[in-house]
Amino acid sequence: MTTYREEFRRSIEAPEAFWGEQARRIHWETPFEKVLDDSRPPFARWFVGGRTNLCYNAVDRHLASRAQQDALIYVSTETGIERRYTYAELHAEVNRMAAVMRSLHVKKGDRVLIYLPMIAEALFAMLACARLGAIHSVVFGGFAAPNLAARIDDAKPALIITADAGARAGKVIDYTPLVDEALSRAEYKVPQVLLIDRQLAPERLQAPYLIAYEPLREQFFDACVQCEWLESNEPSYVLYTSGTTGRPKGVQRDVGGYAVALAASMEHIFQGAAGDVMFTPSDIGWVVGHSYIIYAPLIAGLTTVMYEGTPVRPDGGVWWRLVEQYRINLMFTAPTAIRVLKKQDPQLMQQADLSSLRTLFLAGEPLDEPTAQWIQGALRKPVVDNYWQTETGWPMIAIPHGIEDLPPKLGSPGVPSMGFNLSLRDEQTGDICAPGEKGVIALGYPLPPGCMQTVWGDDRRFVDTYWKSVPNQQVYSTFDWGVQDDDGYVSILGRTDDVINVAGHRLGTREIEEALSSHPAVAEVAVVGVADAVKGQAAFAFVVLRDADRLNAPGVREGLEAELAHTVDTQLGAIARPARVHFVSMLPKTRSGKLLRRAIAALAEGREPGDLPTIEDIGALQQVKAALGAGG
């Protein structure tokens, strides 16, 4: 039997042979002439000359064998709407959307900016872009107008697709004023806006560029739009990384390499097969939504569950009831969501029939051991971590499947995935770190299929940002600290830019968070570095308690702060003790679960949070601001 080490070594030393085999997983209208062109580092080209289409691989090719299988189950606990679409019905809806877009003069190579909530039409729009050869740029439907305007100016879209409103936690968020303001702020003048009316907000079709979708959908109800066959290395989409400041940084993805990588990952990492049901409660505004709500499950012939709502509305058992109702086999979410569910009534999980669920996958941030142990014990199912980035498009560290059964290790997302020539590098010298030594997680050239090609419109920025950060080496920097053990397992220690310098001591905020999280009263925590005139930086902790009501009792706040300080002292030493502990009821984070630490740090320093918070995060940021003002 082939071992993981043997197969991984082959993927690094003989990438053309390895990826040439994986390429058989998708349809090629025109066969590729060369698996890899690595003649121009750091720009790699995969499956050169091959022509394919993401929409065809996700939808059309399944019609012969599974036309009547559910392709999409759409559920909104915000509106009470539930709809199922077979592959045949999905094919029809995507053709209608593509015909509407074509009637608005969208063509191959045009950018289409999608600013939508989690509705089925968002999936139709993404696949319709792929069908036409247009480049979609999905902007999370909660980004404020200035951030949307910056993306408009960078992508220069031929069309914006939006809705009258989104809904989150029972609150309606009117999108059209945000779009109007963004259009007025942007230097680039978008010619037209397609509006999907959910009838959640007032009608806003006054502006001449606004076009209603429904009448056009009816007009093109029986449309059949042929797929545009694209050379493998033509761009499929641009996705702006969350947390960018100043000019947005658009991650540009290809077509063929992305399709092959996702198809391979569904078997080798996510253990999914055609006919399975996969539930990824994230958002299409993030890379998890692109890869594992939309493209990967459909390319592999699964049923994907698309969800609008929160994990605790109407109550903390809603996700588990969805598992039971739709016989979900695979679930993929973030550790933050599990920590939220951990605070709910345990009966809500126990009342649901979870027999269909095979595996829970977690990613988006490091998985702490207390959370991992709790969910493993509560579910009594495999809980599998993985690690990746917007830039890589699929997991670079995971537990491999189907090669050999490597056991998971608490505190580690696993071992390097096939094709990722991963190493830990010394931040000062660039040398490879010995096992157990902390270093910057880096990737050698070429990056495997599915990873970013470049920064949209700015090759120089791609090189300077990602390939010049590690001294004396031309390797890709993830900007994450890690440590690798003798067995090859990698543990993530936090962002290199989340390292703070307190009186000359470099401290990882992640380590402090881990220590605070071990206290039984703590549900969630974020630690940020704040400028300090004496020490350079000071650590501020923002803590969500399991029982916030206890803070109302006299003396409890001071006692808890002292206990938390002692916990850090015991585990990390007094130097790592937070200068202040602020208690809040919620923390701002993306829907994929990443804490918006830079926004929190900006508020703590009296600065504007910049291009980080979404509309939905404003309440959480206001709590942070109030806690800072109140001194606790």
Same domain for 25 and 69, yes or no, is yes
Give the distance from CA 143 to its chain's centroid. 15
Q: Which two tokens stand for residue 4?
A: 């993981």
Residue 243: pLDDT over 50: no
Tally of CB atoms within 10 A around 402: 11
The amino acid sitting at 150 is: A
Q: What is the CATH number of the domain that holds 457?
A: 3.40.50.12780
Residue 117: pLDDT over 70: yes
pLDDT at site 196: 95
CB distance 244 to 613 below 8 Å: no
CA separation for the pair 366, 571 (Å, rounded): 18
The last residue of one of the domains, among 424, 450, 466, is: 466
Q: What pTM does this model have?
A: 0.85
Question: CA 223 → CA 56, 92, 102, 220, distances in Å?
Answer: 16, 8, 11, 5
Same domain for 508 and 423, yes or no, is no
Mean of pLDDT values over 220-226: 98
Between 106 and 533, where is the model more confident?
A: 106
Same domain for 461 and 503, yes or no, is no
Asked, for residue 314, whether it belongs to a domain, the answer is no
CA separation for the pair 119, 117 (Å, rounded): 6
pLDDT at site 587: 87
Asked, for residue 324, whether it belongs to a domain, the answer is no
pLDDT at site 505: 60
Q: Domain span at residue 261?
A: 4-309+386-466
Residue 356: pLDDT over 80: yes
Same domain for 238 and 284, yes or no, is yes
Q: How many domains does the chain have?
A: 2
Mean pLDDT is lowest, of 61-70, 106-115, 359-368, 570-579, for: 570-579
CA separation for the pair 213, 464 (Å, rounded): 42
Same domain for 137 and 274, yes or no, is yes
pLDDT at site 366: 78
Residue 204: pLDDT over 90: no
Same domain for 419 and 521, yes or no, is no
Between 302 and 574, where is the model more confident?
A: 302
Same domain for 130 and 62, yes or no, is yes
pLDDT at site 604: 86
Same domain for 515 and 426, yes or no, is no
Mean of pLDDT values over 414-436: 96
DSSP per-residue letters across 224-286: --PPPPEETTS--EEEEPTT--SS--EEEE-SHHHHHHHHHHHHHTS---TT-EEE--S-TTS
Asked, for residue 358, whether it belongs to a domain, the answer is no
Mean of pLDDT values over 566-574: 79
CA separation for the pair 612, 219 (Å, rounded): 40
pLDDT at site 350: 92
CA separation for the pair 28, 17 (Å, rounded): 17
| Helices assigned H by DSSP within 40-86 | 54-58, 63-66
Q: Which two tokens stand for residue 250?
A: 């658009």
Same domain for 36 and 176, yes or no, is yes
Confidence of residue 515 (pLDDT cuts 50, 70, 90): confident
C-alpha dihedral sign at 389, 391, 397, 402: positive
CA separation for the pair 529, 536 (Å, rounded): 9
Q: Which of 332, 243, 311, 336 is nearest to 525 (CA)?
A: 336
pLDDT at site 569: 80
Between 229 and 515, where is the model more confident?
A: 229
Same domain for 30 and 142, yes or no, is yes
Mean pLDDT is lowest, of 17-26, 75-84, 272-281, 571-580, for: 571-580
pLDDT at site 153: 96
Same domain for 504 and 457, yes or no, is no
Residue 278: pLDDT over 50: yes
CA separation for the pair 512, 498 (Å, rounded): 11
Mean of pLDDT values over 92-105: 98
Mean pLDDT is lowest, of 111-120, 311-320, 532-541, for: 532-541
Report the chain's mean pLDDT, rounded to a whole number.
91
Q: What is the CATH number of the domain that holds 536?
A: 3.30.300.30
Mean of pLDDT values over 538-555: 86
pLDDT at site 476: 98
pLDDT digits (tens, 9 = 90+) for 168-202: 889 998 999 889 989 999 999 999 999 999 999 87
Mean pLDDT is lowest, of 287-296, 303-312, 347-356, 521-530, for: 521-530
CA separation for the pair 581, 576 (Å, rounded): 13
pLDDT at site 212: 92
Same domain for 267 and 175, yes or no, is yes
Asked, for residue 95, whether it belongs to a domain, the answer is yes
